[in-house]
Amino acid sequence: MGKPISENHAIDVASFIVVFERPFEPSIIGSLSGLHERLKKDYPTFSLTNTMEVSITGSEVNQKVGVTSGGILQNLLPDGRPNWTLRVEGNAIVVSCTEYKRWEDISFKALEHIKAAIAFVNDDNNAISSLIHQIVDRFVTDNKDEYKISQVFNTESPYLTKQALKAGKFWHVFQGWFEEKDDYGAKLLNVLNLSTAENPANTTITTTIDHAAHLRFLSPKAIKEFDDEFIRKAFDELHECNKTIIKQLLTNDQLNTIGLK
């Protein structure tokens, strides 16, 4: 049987993302150490991130190596893996948690950090275009020779294709759809990525459910509109959206195991 990666849930990583209209100004990126000072207790580790920029003019290719594009704050486990990460990079703020416990606890912490980062990058000329909540769930089948899609998924789920149901051990379904969210002046884009993969180090198969709910505002919103109540309400709703989809994907046994039945 496919087992959730945790005893009480299958969540490998939960991410909270705020997307702005434009990339952050270099002055903001260059001062991210100030954000680290504010959040050092929760994120002891800080580093800047670099990218390579390439431009083509006629027959000439110009490269800028090591262009500072953002910063990453991390809280690391003893083995070096991050359990909390905060990125400010490009045009987005991303808070990710890999030590998921209860929604109330991790969402409170994540949103406090999101709000601190929003306040830090505050720019009246750079509005927020979308909020994204992404959850990656994983299930592991101990013996690949015993894999069946029905160990994890309800075979009547509307999110599975006929081909996936008969493909055997390895398959991949990628899909997306929109919903109207008039109360937010937005459209909700659901992006759902379902797949299986063999783990090279052993004989197990991992099933992955990667769901991202994008709340896309029809007109970008100024930072001042994102008070505590608005941010909490929006991410709570995106979380409920994820739960609804998971309930339509998994078998009753799996739903019981992860506490959604």
* 55 has pLDDT over 90: no
13 HSE (CA, 13 A, CB side): 16
CA distance 49 to 3: 36
Contact status, residue 91 vs residue 116, Cβ threshold 8 Å: no
Read off the pLDDT of residues 199-221 as tens digits, 9 standing for 90 and up: 877 789 999 999 999 999 999 99
Range 182-187, long-range pairs (CB < 8 A, 24+ positions): 184/215, 184/217, 184/234, 185/217, 185/218, 185/219, 186/130, 186/215, 186/216, 186/217, 186/218, 187/216, 187/218
User: CA–CA separation, 188 vs 197, rounded Å?
Assistant: 29
In this prediction the pTM is: 0.92
- Strand 205-221 to strand 60-76: parallel, antiparallel, or no bridges (unpaired)? unpaired
pLDDT (0 to 100) of residue 143: 87
Percent of all residues in the chain with a pLDDT value above 90, rounded to a whole number: 80
- Residue 134 is predicted with a pLDDT of 98
pLDDT at residue 51 greater than cutoff 70 = no
pLDDT digits (tens, 9 = 90+) for 212-256: 999 999 999 999 999 999 999 999 999 999 999 999 999 999 999
Question: Residue 90 — left, alpha, or beta (φ > 0 → left; ψ -120 to 50 → alpha)?
Answer: left
Q: Give the pLDDT score at 61.
A: 57
What are the pLDDT digits (tens) for 115-163?
999 999 988 889 999 999 999 999 999 888 889 999 999 999 999 999 9
> Taking 70 as the threshold, does the pLDDT of residue 67 lie above it?
no
Average pLDDT over residues 25-48: 94
The answer to whether residues 207 and 138 touch, using CB atoms and an 8 Å cutoff, is yes
Task: Enter the DSSP assignment of 253.
Answer: H
Residues 82-113 pLDDT 10s: 999 999 999 999 999 999 989 999 999 999 99
The amino acid sitting at 53 is E
pLDDT of 8-34, one tens digit each?
Answer: 899 999 999 999 999 999 999 999 999
Instruction: Decide if 159 contacts 250 (C-beta within 8 A).
Output: no
Q: Where are the domains of the chain?
A: 2-22+91-257
Q: What's the pLDDT at 64?
A: 54
Exposure class string for 170-188: b at 16+ Cβ within 10 A, else e: ebeeeeeeeeebeebebbb
In the predicted structure, residue 170 carries a pLDDT above the cut 70 = yes
Residue 217: strand pairing partners: 186
